[in-house]
């Protein structure tokens, strides 16, 4: 799950997709991500982005370079910003 969140953040940062909702819709409809979770980025918000980054950093520190947190995730964690800010 963590690597999926990380790659989804890269896709957002690179402009492959324009919104978190587009990522979530694609994963729910495309690979069957559990719709009751709302998508991978809604799931990341439920875990809190800061927690996702901390866990990714733990795996990266063990030498698993593919778990290096995406810059967008690090920025969001520092700012305390979720993918879906509640209105």
Other CB atoms within a 10 A radius of the CB of residue 70 amount to 20
Count of all residues that appear for the chain in the document:
87
CATH code of the domain covering residue 29: 1.10.1040.50
Q: Which domain holds residue 23?
A: 2-79
Rounded Cα gap, residues 38 and 54, in angstroms: 22
pTM: 0.89
Quote the pLDDT of residue 52.
97
Quote the pLDDT of residue 77.
97
The answer to the question of residue 25 being in a domain is yes
Q: Is residue 3 within 8 Å of 67, Cβ to Cβ?
A: yes
How confident is the model over 30-75, as pLDDT tens digits? 999 898 988 999 999 999 999 999 999 999 999 998 899 999 999 9
């Amino acid at each position: 799950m963590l690597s999926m969140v990380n790659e989804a953040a890269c896709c957002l940062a690179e402009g492959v997709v324009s919104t978190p909702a587009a990522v979530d819709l694609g994963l729910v409809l495309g690979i069957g991500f559990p719709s009751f979770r709302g998508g991978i980025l809604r799931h990341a918000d439920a875990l809190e982005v800061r927690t996702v980054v901390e866990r990714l950093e733990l795996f990266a520190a063990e030498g698993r370079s593919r778990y290096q947190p995406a810059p967008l995730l690090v920025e969001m964690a520092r700012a305390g910003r979720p993918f879906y800010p509640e209105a």
